[in-house]
Chain A
Amino acid sequence: MQLTGLYWGHKLLKYVDFPCADVLGPDASAGEIKDLLERHKQIFIKPIFKGGVGKKGKMGLLGRVDSVEDALREKERLFFIEHISENNVAKAEGVTYESAIPAEHEIYFSISDNTRFRAPTITITHHGGMDIEELPADKLKVIPFDPLTGFKGFIVSNALRELEAPQELISPLVQHLPKLWDLYHNYGMTMLELNPIRMMPQNKRLVPVACDFKCSFDRDDPNWMRLGIPNSAFASDYSEFEQEINQLRTYQGQSDVFVINDKGTITPMTFGGGANALVSDLLSDRATISSDFGGNPPYEKMKQVADICYKYWLPQSNVLFIIGGKANNTDIFETFRAMGDGLRSFITKNGPQPLFVVVGRGGPNLVRGMAYLRDTLEDLRIPYRFFGHDSAMSEIVNYAKDVDDWMKKEGVRPMMLKARG
């Protein structure tokens, strides 16, 4: 759950009274743009992407204008522009108009939880405005601090002195940066980055003004909801399937599920984070989804999860693959009963279809669970193989792949359907 850009950033910064460039949203009228230009002489036009999309400047996805006409021309260019990075394509949904902030100094600042220190940690440099990864280590400071006392001004002061930052930067940053801890700590963030903060001269002092914004929220912390950000701001992070199924996400039984390949032919119902990592590695693009349903989900929840997974993915799947290690606590009977009942509902509703079920599992109530699923599959006339936890998980994955390969051959799926009668 990420947000980038000032469209949401300026609203969030307002919560802690951190100075920010003036921002108009995509609905801004020509009059409002003109007014912004009159006040600031120059403005930036930036496309709005949902979720986390960075490096817009480098990609040329940024307009810098000083007239309304140019602003409108840039708006037309950038309003629906595509951002392509590696295999990901994001489409813009509007633009922001942001005031240009004249400044001599640009600051990079971020807060995140750093696993090297196992503490919240700031990263700061007065050589901002560039990729932080490109900066030599001696030009930035990475400083952990105690979350019980919080992020205080002296940490900023010490860091900047050690960096030998210009004197005039220190006081304004000591005054304003600690406000960001409130936003970070109390609204469920796991990362907050302002780059650049431009030091704007004002009344003989410098004022730090945020000119770009990036943050990540912790999905497990409901505090972000207090910020009034609609779910739709993150919507492009999730497919329709992911949105539907992740509504069931609670601490009682995981339901973390994401689409791997919407053309995949094996639908893995994976139990456990470890199994998820292993199975995803081994199945790769054959898998429709990546899932972890461990954590002992109750029947009702597992049934709902199975219903949604089956609805989206079974019609195209050759193999329904139920896989996990030797469960410690997940009740195999309850989870298998739910997945079996889900399969029965699916076949009842959609009619028979060629499918092979491969299971690899161990844990409490294993045999009862397997027996229930066996009875269901035999009643539905679906072929299957169940392996216990004494078979190597990777061997079972390979078996599922072999079945998938065979079912991809011409005529096999129709033959299976015919055999079902």
Chain B
Amino acid sequence: MHKRGSESFSKYFVGIDSLEEIATKEDRICVLNILGNESRGVTPTSHAFSGGNVVFGTMPGRSGQVLETPAGNVPVYNNVPEGLAAGHAFNTAVIYLPPSGVRDAVAEVARSNPELKKIVILTEKVPVKDARIIRAIGQMYGLDIFGANALGVADSHNKVRIGGALGGTHPEESLIPGSVAIYSNSGNFTTTIAFYLLSKGWGTTTSISSGKDIYIHFSAPEFVNAMENDKRTKAGVMYIEPGGYYESALKFNKPVVTCIVGRWKKRLSKAVGHAGSLAGSGDDALAKEKWFMNYFGVDNIFTPEKPVYSKKGAVVINIAHIPEALNLVMEANGVKPDFTPKGDLSKKAWFGNNMGVELPPELDVPVVNAIEPYSEQIETVNKQVGATFPRRNMKDASGASRMDPKTQVTQVHNISVLDATRYTLEKNLVMSLIREYPTNEGAKLAGIILNAMMNQHGQPALAAAEAARAAKSSPNSVLSAAAAIVGPATVDKSRKAADTLRELFQHKNITDPINSGFDFSEQLSQTDASVFIQSEPDALASHIANAVANSGIKSVFVDFVLELARTGGGHATTDALLGAITTTLAWAPFMRKRVSVITINNLPWHFKVCATLVGVAAPAAKHGAGSFLDLDIGEMISGMSFGETAYTALIGRRPTQEELDDFNIILGLVISNGPGTISAQGAKGAVSADGPEDPFRVQINKGYIGFLTHTGFAHGGNGYEAIAFLLDRFKDSGLKDPGDEHHGLNLEEIATKYAEEYRLYKDRQKEVGNITYAKIPCVNHPVFKGQPVNHDPREVFVRDLFKNRGSYNVFLEFYHNLVEAMFKAGVSKNVYCVNVDAVIAVIILKLLWEPYNRGEIKDNELESIAFTVFLFGRILGTAAEIEDHINRGRNMDTRTAASKCEYVE
């Protein structure tokens, strides 16, 4: 049973008799689920484009809210009756609901609004079961339904679009008034075809995106009837896919070009995107081509090479051929295009780069200017420099580090910590911040500036650290005290210098400022010199400049600052050189959009904090007016690497090459254990609380304090317990040099003796019911267990490294003897692994054994040094986490939802 509608259709109801009636200025719209994701983006454009035709929207529970649009706010009600009761009248419903809600929405809107004439359903994947009911409801109530799985309808003459996003965010680009009506099974092609038609001077009347579900409610016969009755329309374009018999009995009086695509689909047994495009043998693409060829009286497909057409029309199988076919068909009818052609469809690359690959000439398509407004947009994006990271919740997430749960090996910026053991301290620090290793020249510059920042003579940071040390605070607390002093005011000028350099040079095609020989004479006259120079001499700046000169490395930015001082009659400042060097280091990845503007601005602060933390590890007596660590400051800056200085600050003497290598191993290994570690969580929490969405208010020094407060004695990585354990074993052994394999000790015997003792101790404790008996530190691991003989791959890596270098460590060898002895003594069921924490302990103990033996270092100092070495290494990973979180995180994103917290009685 169906209502009576157009007289052209006797077997079922069709209300619309002319395309003019599809999207009119008088239509008033109600949008169901108006505040849903899809509608929120699309409806404001439709509403504004159509002169404000949406009277209200619905969304359960949102009554009283509005949808903001450029044409004013659209009110929202809980349901349709509520909106009607509020006095709004509409004749067209647009449905944006999820599939499961569509059928009921159609029923609701049809029942509650007697004025309803049209429904547009945008939703994809509406079940067929619901579609058949929707069809029946439409017939019963006398409604024209468009879709589902469609993009709605639009009328270029009326400047109205209803439903979906035909024409996208800029409908005026495609919906140009003309004389061609479009009917398309593809929503995307509705717009694409309208755009293509412009290239031959054809505009549109009404465009219909029909959808391509099994049920197409307003389909080809209805379109053709309405087209014939529309005085504005001189011709039609139809885009048709296989499947369904909607086009099997059409009658045309006006010329039509039909594009049928999907010959290939015959081979497919599953629908892709368009559920109704699966065809049987009678309704496949070839069958449909035949139907239309018969209508038009042609015997072949139209191609530009072989243009087969009649006055009635043409069949194409490529949408790009539509404009030309239409031109010829219309020419045969004596009809000229609507306007002068706009653009053409030839191949035009907007972006391209061969990336060093030699392409054959025919593939080496040149990049050309895009059409407006895109060319202007491209010009703008080409001016953008640096990376932009999408912001998201970064709780327990990191774009800097990740640990492989299988191997327990962490990567920082895709570099394994095992590989990091082969790099120097300054290289690893720079890598943590700029996401890749610097060149040797870059590392040298980093070393110079870091060394220059270490001496804290007369500075409050040193006083704070000393006060904390005097109060017997732990090493992390001591460093925290100093970090608190390196606040934003201490780096204002260097950050300003970095920013100014970036602005001056970012569009000058400098891919790497080191040794590039860039002529900056133009920039010299453009800048405010006071950012970089001052009238009084700056002694430290002179040392830095000398060190750079002695290194033979040329940096555009350092040279620029020095030249500015020379020509401006002033003196370069330390702040300016800090900014110049950090910007030099970050420039190449910045140009490649690996790091952001934010990072360029932050780098001086990171450098200052890191150098201060390492510097205050040395006692106050080592910080002098012109000296540091008893070395002339100029010589120290020039002649030592940052790693050497850090070692000397901590251990009290300059390292040999082997000792420096060992030091780098420890530092590399402890850089990071991923974002889940407590130290990373401390740093990330500190950043999160400052609100990284406004990145310039994040206090970077506080991020380091967050990390430092989240380290402590229980951190396995600091080797604290293992050193105490090894001291107990070797204190009275007479061991002289732990690096000499001819030490004269019987390690197997020491290990066996201890394993036996330990077995007795363990048995005794179990007998008395003490299950928290003391465990041997640095053996066994929750992941690397269960095999007859177990290995921690990280420890294996280091042991192999030692072996290849011909380096010996008696303590590490003892550990390996010990795990075997424990197995033999029945303490363990298999041979435990020696875990990576042991590596840190054995290296530190080896480095400090001789002074310890001589009584120059006490037990507690040994422990303090071990802890501080761990902190030095972890500073690097922390720098990476802080910078990453500032760039990617959201405000307060590390908090835990109350629902996930527990109260414990």
Q: Which residues from chain A sit less than 8 Å from chain B, CB to CB?
A: 52, 87, 113, 115-116, 118-120, 146-148, 185-186, 188, 190, 218-221, 223, 237, 250-252, 254, 256-258, 271-278, 280-282, 284, 290-292, 294-296, 298-299, 324-329, 331, 337, 348, 362-364, 366-368, 370-371, 374-375, 377-379, 381-396, 399, 402-403, 406, 415-416, 419-421
Q: Are B241 and A273 in contact (CB under 8 A)?
A: yes
B387: CB under 8 A from chain A?
yes
- Of the stretches B377-385, B462-470, B513-521, the one at the interface is B377-385
- Of the stretches B82-90, B123-131, B682-690, the one at the interface is B123-131
Among candidates B128, B244, B246, B351, residue contacting A220 with C-beta atoms closer than 8 Å: B128
Q: Which of B130-148 contact A (CB under 8 A)?
A: 130-133, 135-137, 140
Chain B CB within 10 A, most for which of A275, A325, A390: A390
B371: CB under 8 A from chain A?
yes
* 8 CB < 8 A contacts A-B: A113-B131, A273-B185, A276-B273, A325-B186, A329-B38, A371-B382, A392-B196, A395-B345
Residue of B at shortest CB range from A218? B128
Q: Are B363 and A390 in contact (CB under 8 A)?
A: no
Q: A147-B132, A251-B98, A371-B351 are in contact. List 16 more A-B contacts (CB 8 A).
A: A113-B128, A115-B243, A115-B246, A116-B245, A185-B129, A223-B129, A277-B261, A291-B272, A294-B187, A329-B165, A348-B414, A364-B168, A366-B377, A367-B377, A386-B349, A387-B348
Q: Are B353 and A384 in contact (CB under 8 A)?
A: yes
Expressed in whole angstroms, the Cα–Cα distance for A394 and B323 within the complex equals 14
Contacts of A367 in B (CB 8 A): 370, 374, 377-378, 380-381
Q: Are A52 and B353 in contact (CB under 8 A)?
A: no
Residue of B at shortest CB range from A295? B124
Contacts of A118 in B (CB 8 A): 12, 135, 215-217, 219
When A220-B127, A393-B320 are in contact, do A272 and B351 touch as well, CB less than 8 Å? no
Q: Are B352 and A386 in contact (CB under 8 A)?
A: yes
Q: Are A393 and B319 in contact (CB under 8 A)?
A: yes
Q: Hey, what's the 0/1 contact readout for B239-254 against A, CB within 8 Å counting as 1? A: 1010111101000000
Contacts of A273 in B (CB 8 A): 185-186, 188, 212, 241, 272-274, 277
B806: CB under 8 A from chain A?
no
Q: Are A328 and B167 in contact (CB under 8 A)?
A: yes
Contacts of A366 in B (CB 8 A): 374, 377
Q: Are B593 and A329 in contact (CB under 8 A)?
A: no
Residue of A at shortest CB range from B127? A221
Contacts of B245 in A (CB 8 A): 115-116
Q: Are B186 and A390 in contact (CB under 8 A)?
A: no
Among candidates A115, A292, A386, residue contacting B244 with C-beta atoms closer than 8 Å: A115
Q: Hey, what's the 0/1 contact readout for B776-811 against A, CB within 8 Å counting as 1? A: 000000000000000000000000000000000000
In whole Å, how far is B644's beta carbon from the nearest beta carbon of chain A?
A: 33
Contacts of B41 in A (CB 8 A): 296, 329, 331
Q: Are A274 and B272 in contact (CB under 8 A)?
A: no
The interface residues of chain B, by DSSP majority, are classed as: loop
Among candidates A147, A258, A416, residue contacting B272 with C-beta atoms closer than 8 Å: A258
- Of the stretches B63-71, B262-270, B492-500, B851-859, the one at the interface is B262-270
Q: Are A274 and B186 in contact (CB under 8 A)?
A: yes
In whole Å, how far is B750's beta carbon from the nearest beta carbon of chain A?
A: 45
In whole Å, how far is B473's beta carbon from the nearest beta carbon of chain A?
A: 41
When A118-B135, A274-B261 are in contact, do A326 and B168 touch as well, CB less than 8 Å? yes
Q: Are B348 and A326 in contact (CB under 8 A)?
A: no
Q: Which residues from chain B sit less than 8 Å from chain A, CB to CB?
A: 1, 12, 37-38, 41-42, 98-99, 123-133, 135-137, 140, 151, 164-169, 174, 184-192, 195-196, 212, 214-217, 219, 239, 241, 243-246, 248, 261-265, 267-277, 283, 317-320, 343-360, 362-363, 365, 370-371, 374, 377-378, 380-382, 384, 387, 390, 414, 592-594
When A371-B384, A389-B195 are in contact, do A326 and B273 touch as well, CB less than 8 Å? no
Expressed in whole angstroms, the Cα–Cα distance for A27 and B178 within the complex equals 69
Q: Are B593 and A375 in contact (CB under 8 A)?
A: yes
Q: Are B133 and A386 in contact (CB under 8 A)?
A: no
The interface residues of chain A, by DSSP majority, are classed as: mixed
Contacts of B377 in A (CB 8 A): 366-368
When A116-B248, A329-B38 are in contact, do A378 and B355 touch as well, CB less than 8 Å? yes
Q: Are A119 and B132 in contact (CB under 8 A)?
A: yes
Q: Are B363 and A403 in contact (CB under 8 A)?
A: yes
Among candidates A146, A290, A371, residue contacting B381 with C-beta atoms closer than 8 Å: A371
Expressed in whole angstroms, the Cα–Cα distance for A368 and B136 within the complex equals 45
Q: Are B351 and A277 in contact (CB under 8 A)?
A: no
Q: Are A391 and B195 in contact (CB under 8 A)?
A: no
Q: Are A420 and B352 in contact (CB under 8 A)?
A: no
Expressed in whole angstroms, the Cα–Cα distance for A113 and B263 within the complex equals 23
Q: Are B215 and A218 in contact (CB under 8 A)?
A: no
Q: What's the A-B contact tally at a CB cutoff of 8 Å?
A: 299
Expressed in whole angstroms, the Cα–Cα distance for A382 and B187 within the complex equals 32
In whole Å, how far is A178's beta carbon from the nearest beta carbon of chain B?
A: 16
Q: Are A274 and B414 in contact (CB under 8 A)?
A: no
Expressed in whole angstroms, the Cα–Cα distance for A237 and B268 within the complex equals 11
In whole Å, how far is A413's beta carbon from the nearest beta carbon of chain B?
A: 11
3 cross-chain pairs, A with B, having the tightest CB-CB distances, nearest first = A274-B186, A292-B273, A325-B192
Expressed in whole angstroms, the Cα–Cα distance for A357 and B150 within the complex equals 30
Expressed in whole angstroms, the Cα–Cα distance for A362 and B189 within the complex equals 11
Expressed in whole angstroms, the Cα–Cα distance for A118 and B139 within the complex equals 11
Q: Are B188 and A254 in contact (CB under 8 A)?
A: no
Residue of A at shortest CB range from B152? A328
Residue of A at shortest CB range from B123? A251
Residue of A at shortest CB range from B190? A328
Q: Are A383 and B359 in contact (CB under 8 A)?
A: yes
Q: Are A237 and B269 in contact (CB under 8 A)?
A: yes
When A326-B195, A337-B390 are in contact, do A383 and B355 touch as well, CB less than 8 Å? yes
Expressed in whole angstroms, the Cα–Cα distance for A147 and B370 within the complex equals 52
Expressed in whole angstroms, the Cα–Cα distance for A146 and B1 within the complex equals 8
Q: Are B99 and A220 in contact (CB under 8 A)?
A: yes
Expressed in whole angstroms, the Cα–Cα distance for A27 and B377 within the complex equals 67
Expressed in whole angstroms, the Cα–Cα distance for A403 and B357 within the complex equals 12
In whole Å, how far is A361's beta carbon from the nearest beta carbon of chain B?
A: 10
Contacts of A392 in B (CB 8 A): 196, 319-320, 345-347
Contacts of B212 in A (CB 8 A): 273
Among candidates B188, B239, B356, residue contacting A326 with C-beta atoms closer than 8 Å: B188
Expressed in whole angstroms, the Cα–Cα distance for A396 and B319 within the complex equals 13
Q: Are A419 and B42 in contact (CB under 8 A)?
A: no
Contacts of A403 in B (CB 8 A): 363
Contacts of B246 in A (CB 8 A): 115
In whole Å, how far is B259's beta carbon from the nearest beta carbon of chain A?
A: 9
Contacts of A364 in B (CB 8 A): 168-169
Contacts of B185 in A (CB 8 A): 273-274
Residue of B at shortest CB range from A341? B390
Contacts of B125 in A (CB 8 A): 220, 250-251
Q: Are B164 and A326 in contact (CB under 8 A)?
A: no
Q: Are B186 and A272 in contact (CB under 8 A)?
A: yes
Residue of B at shortest CB range from A116? B245
Among candidates A52, A250, A272, A328, residue contacting B164 with C-beta atoms closer than 8 Å: A328
Expressed in whole angstroms, the Cα–Cα distance for A194 and B318 within the complex equals 40
Q: Are A147 and B136 in contact (CB under 8 A)?
A: yes
Residue of A at shortest CB range from B169? A364
Expressed in whole angstroms, the Cα–Cα distance for A230 and B214 within the complex equals 26
Q: Are A399 and B347 in contact (CB under 8 A)?
A: yes
In whole Å, how far is B695's beta carbon from the nearest beta carbon of chain A?
A: 19
Expressed in whole angstroms, the Cα–Cα distance for A320 and B302 within the complex equals 30
Expressed in whole angstroms, the Cα–Cα distance for A292 and B374 within the complex equals 26
Q: Are A325 and B188 in contact (CB under 8 A)?
A: yes
In whole Å, how far is B344's beta carbon from the nearest beta carbon of chain A?
A: 8
Contacts of A328 in B (CB 8 A): 151, 164-168, 187-188, 190-191
Among candidates A120, A295, A363, A420, residue contacting B168 with C-beta atoms closer than 8 Å: A363
Residue of B at shortest CB range from A378? B353
Residue of B at shortest CB range from A88? B269
When A280-B264, A386-B351 are in contact, do A327 and B592 touch as well, CB less than 8 Å? no
When A118-B12, A378-B355, A395-B347 are in contact, do A402 and B132 touch as well, CB less than 8 Å? no
Contacts of B136 in A (CB 8 A): 119, 146-148
